[in-house]
Amino acid sequence: MSERDVLLALRNVDVFIGESHILQGVSFDVRNGGITGLLGRNGVGKTTTLRGILGLAPRTGSVTLAGEELTRLSVHEVVQRGVGYVPEDRDVFAGLTVAENLRLAERKGSELRYDLIYELFPELKQRAAQKAGTLSGGQQQMVSLSRALLNADNRILLVDEPTKGLAPLVVRNVTEALRRAAEVATILLVEQNLSVAHALVRDVIVLDQGRVTFTGDVDELMNDPALARRHLGLAAAVGH
Ligand SMILES: Nc1ncnc2c1ncn2[C@@H]1O[C@H](COP(=O)(O)OP(=O)(O)OP(=O)(O)O)[C@@H](O)[C@H]1O
Ligand SMILES: [Mg+2]
């Protein structure tokens, strides 16, 4: 991919947590637009990679967004540059209402996409006054995604396992929302459900034990069972 197609670039990123060398020289590019998949078995460093991009995990090496170096900025400053985060644990404020959760995500000066959010998730409008802690897991995921989608100046969304633990119907709803979200922002998606990943992503990065082991086209990986099994384990062989 040519340099001007690249929105986010990692070069030789290392993360140490305590004595553990969690990310070991991770380098990859995320293309501007669409959804790039960050895949790999459990515990290989996917979440740590997203946390490293944001600066939530201390890292060395280089992370650039549209050519601007992020590694010297605070987490707050990285977010201000237009990096949205939808963490694995969903991270909604349980004691606050849906509307309050969304309002807290509003960034000053950014155009707000309430129309898009309520179009994608009409349920959230109906449940605006409900405490987020009393929502189902799927509805909480919708709030979490909406918080990242709300600010129109977010250029990239880092989305960590959004379909984990959700019922099939809700998985479909979230999948469709991600597809629509990718029309307005670039998404780096961690997804363990390989059929969801296959349906959504174009470029794939596979991590194994803190290193990148594959980068390329999703079809190249998924349509070659032996290759998929080698990189993703048994789940890939029986996934679909
Ligand atoms: N705060 C921490 N303290 C100690 N070890 C950590 C910490 N965070 C992550 N690790 C370790 O780093 C490795 C990578 O973890 P990470 O959460 O990034 O993996 P993952 O690919 O997201 O896994 P999963 O698919 O289970 O979500 C694991 O071995 C994990 O135990
Ligand atoms: Mg994880």
Tens of pLDDT, residues 98-114? 999 999 999 888 899 99
Mean pLDDT of the 151-172 span: 94
118: CA distance to ligand 1 center in Å?
Answer: 34
C-alpha pair distances (Å), 187 with each of 99, 132, 141, 209, 230: 24, 25, 16, 23, 25
Which atom, in ligand 1's list, is nearest to the CA of 210? 14
Ligand nearest to the CA of 44: 1
Question: pLDDT class for 235, splitting at 50, 70, 90?
Answer: low
Q: The domain containing residue 50 runs over which residues?
A: 3-238
pTM (predicted TM-score): 0.94
Q: Residue 30 has which token pair?
A: 């995320």
Mean pLDDT of the 210-223 span: 94
Contacts of 144 (CB under 8 A, 6+ apart): 86, 87, 90, 91, 92, 162
Which atom, in ligand 1's list, is nearest to the CA of 40? 21
Residue identifier of the C-alpha nearest atom 25 of ligand 1: 42
Which atom, in ligand 1's list, is nearest to the CA of 42? 25
Q: Residue 8 has which token pair?
A: 């986010």
Question: pLDDT class for 234, splitting at 50, 70, 90?
Answer: low
| 32: nearest Cα among 8, 52, 67, 64 | 8
Residue identifier of the C-alpha nearest atom 17 of ligand 1: 47
Domain at 204, CATH number = 3.40.50.300
Mean pLDDT of the 145-172 span: 94
**3-state DSSP call for residue 172?**
helix
Q: At what angle do helices 98-105 and 137-149 cross, to 10 degrees?
A: 30
Mean pLDDT of the 130-156 span: 94
Domains: count for the chain: 1
Cα angle 196-155-27, degrees, rounded to a multiple of 5: 70
Contacts of 224 (CB under 8 A, 6+ apart): none
Tens of pLDDT, residues 37-72? 999 999 999 999 999 999 999 999 999 999 999 999
Write the DSSP symbol of residue 183. Answer: T
Query: Which residue is associated with the tokens 């062989």?
Result: 237
Is pLDDT larger for residue 1 or for residue 182?
Answer: 182
Contact 117/185 with Cβ under 8 angstroms?
A: no
User: Ligand 1: which residues within 6 Å by Cβ?
Assistant: 17-18, 20, 22, 40, 42-48
